[in-house]
């Protein structure tokens, strides 16, 4: 898992003036809206006696109140009131928790979990179609019981479609005709790599989707990444009818991930809102059906985490996307952004230390109560230290 990237917190409509608990990167966060509707995301550990802010309530002054002793924290993470000291008491300068930059885009709330200044932050994966004429969006989320890297790599693997998804391939029954053709680079960016490729696919059976694809033939599809946890998948059912999917994944812990899916389509769009809502439900139901096919397989992958050595898998040319993704993860580790999960787990097992994902404010302010999460020392620095 990595700091210094944008992570999806929740669907925007699910966030109100009642604080909610969010688990990401094996850390706890609280999300809420202030009196003006502005979304905020803070570290969920009160620095007084360790209360969970998400168990408290939002106050009329736009703060979130700890349920243990009533300390109030504003959207910047700064304590504005300590009831036991009385009204208008001086607040100690260390009375603050980490507050993270927030953006609301594509119907989701995102938090930047890291300490990079704004100009240096990797971007949220763009959805250029969002809000434009001729496209309609649906937003949904679901949890899977496996590591997010395994989830992303599954999406970057074009060969599995033939055997895992009956709507995408022939389940290996046309062996003499099946082959993964050359992957064409697409949407390559500083934070990831993507591809498109063309393959044979059967007609679609569902009455609605048959309007887009009635016969077997060529289908074009592909995927790509932005950072460690954002992935796009484009499915061109025909020359005119497209579905563009954007996955924003939130690693909860090593073996649990929350996936947020923004599905864009230029098909099944009506002038009637009631009919669009029916189409939305049908599209979301189909997306969950396809995701369920992946879940059955990926749940049983062994090892459950990506092997440390690439020699422990026999990779093929069609695995180019997976290799590009792993190369990027190595690059992020080289920047010093990889969380030391062994250190986090050791602290959890001992039970007397709570870490915080460092926020940008730590670059200017000193004297924080909670220690920053331990990070893996980049291999290059380790080699230099050894010399």
- pLDDT bucket at 214, cuts 50 / 70 / 90: low
| Residue 140 tokens, joined | 């949904």
Residue with the bigger pLDDT between 18 and 174: it is 18
Given a cut of 50, is residue 387 above it in pLDDT? no
Averaged pLDDT of the chain: 92
| Partners of 232 in the β-ladder | 224, 246
Rounded to two decimals, the pTM is 0.94
Specify whether the CB–CB gap between 339 and 3 falls below 8 A. yes
Given a cut of 80, is residue 208 above it in pLDDT? no
Sheet order of strands, 27-33 included: 20-24, 27-33, 39-43, 99-100
Residue 98 phi/psi, 5° resolution?
Answer: -70, 135
Specify whether the CB–CB gap between 46 and 71 falls below 8 A. yes
Q: What span, in angstroms and rounded, lies between the C-alpha atoms of 311 and 226? A: 26
* Of 23, 12, 11, 16, residue with least CA distance to 344: 23
Span of 68-72, 161-165, 293-297, 311-315 with lowest mean pLDDT = 161-165
Fold match between 1-123+339-387 and 136-329? Answer: no
* Of 93, 87, 123, 118, residue with least CA distance to 105: 123
Q: What span, in angstroms and rounded, lies between the C-alpha atoms of 108 and 230? A: 13
Residue 8 phi/psi, 5° resolution?
Answer: -75, 130
| Residue 288 tokens, joined | 């969950």
| Partners of 8 in the β-ladder | 110
Condensed to tens digits (0 to 9), the pLDDT of residues 250-273 reads: 999 999 999 999 999 999 899 999
CATH number of 1-123+339-387: 2.102.10.10
* Of 163, 109, 167, 138, residue with least CA distance to 268: 138
Residue 194 phi/psi, 5° resolution?
Answer: -140, 170
* CATH number of 136-329, picked from 3.90.380.10, 1.10.340.30, 3.40.47.10, 3.40.366.10: 3.90.380.10
List the chain domain ranges: 1-123+339-387, 136-329
Strands (E), 322-375: 355-356, 371-372
DSSP strand pairing (371-372 vs 355-356): parallel
Cα distances (angstroms) measured from residue 211 to each of 74, 149, 207, 283, 363: 52, 35, 7, 13, 55
| Residue 26 tokens, joined | 């094996």
């Amino acid at each position: 898992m990595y700091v210094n990237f944008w992570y999806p917190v929740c669907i925007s409509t699910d966030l109100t003036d009642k604080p909610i608990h969010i688990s990401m990167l094996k850390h706890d966060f609280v999300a809420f809206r202030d009196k003006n509707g502005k979304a905020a995301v803070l570290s969920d550990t009160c620095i007084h006696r360790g209360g969970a802010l998400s168990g408290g309530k939002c106050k009329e002054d736009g703060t979130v109140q700890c349920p243990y002793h009533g300390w109030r924290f504003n959207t910047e993470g700064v304590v504005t009131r300590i009831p036991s000291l009385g009204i208008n008491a001086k607040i100690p300068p260390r009375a603050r928790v980490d507050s993270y930059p927030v953006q609301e885009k594509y119907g989701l709330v995102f938090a930047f979990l890291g300490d990079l200044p704004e100009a240096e932050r990797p971007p949220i994966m763009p959805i250029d179609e969002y809000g434009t004429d001729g496209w309609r969006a649906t937003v949904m989320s679901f949890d899977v019981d496996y590591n997010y890297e395994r989830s992303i790599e599954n999406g970057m693997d074009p060969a599995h479609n033939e055997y895992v998804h009956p709507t995408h391939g022939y389940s290996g029954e046309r062996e003499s005709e099946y082959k993964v053709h050359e992957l064409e680079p697409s949407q390559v960016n500083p934070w990831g790599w993507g591809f498109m490729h063309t393959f044979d696919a059967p007609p679609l059976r569902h009455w609605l989707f048959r309007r887009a694809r009635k016969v077997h033939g060529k289908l074009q599809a592909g995927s790509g990444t932005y950072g460690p946890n954002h992935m796009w998948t484009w499915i061109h059912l025909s020359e005119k009818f497209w579905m563009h999917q954007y996955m924003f994944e939130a690693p909860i812990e090593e073996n649990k991930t929350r996936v947020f899916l923004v599905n864009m389509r230029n098909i099944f769009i009506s002038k009637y809102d009631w009919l669009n809502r029916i189409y939305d439900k049908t599209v979301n139901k189909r997306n969950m059906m396809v995701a369920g096919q992946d879940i059955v397989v990926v749940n049983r992958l062994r090892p459950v985490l990506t092997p440390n050595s690439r020699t422990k898998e026999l990779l093929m040319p069609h695995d180019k996307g997976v290799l590009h993704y792993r190369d990027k993860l190595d690059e992020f580790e080289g920047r010093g952004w990889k969380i030391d999960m062994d250190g986090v787990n050791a602290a959890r097992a001992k039970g007397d230390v709570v870490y915080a994902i460092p926020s940008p404010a730590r670059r200017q302010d000193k004297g924080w109560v909670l220690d920053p999460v331990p990070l893996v020392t980049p291999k290059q620095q380790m080699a230099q230290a050894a010399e």
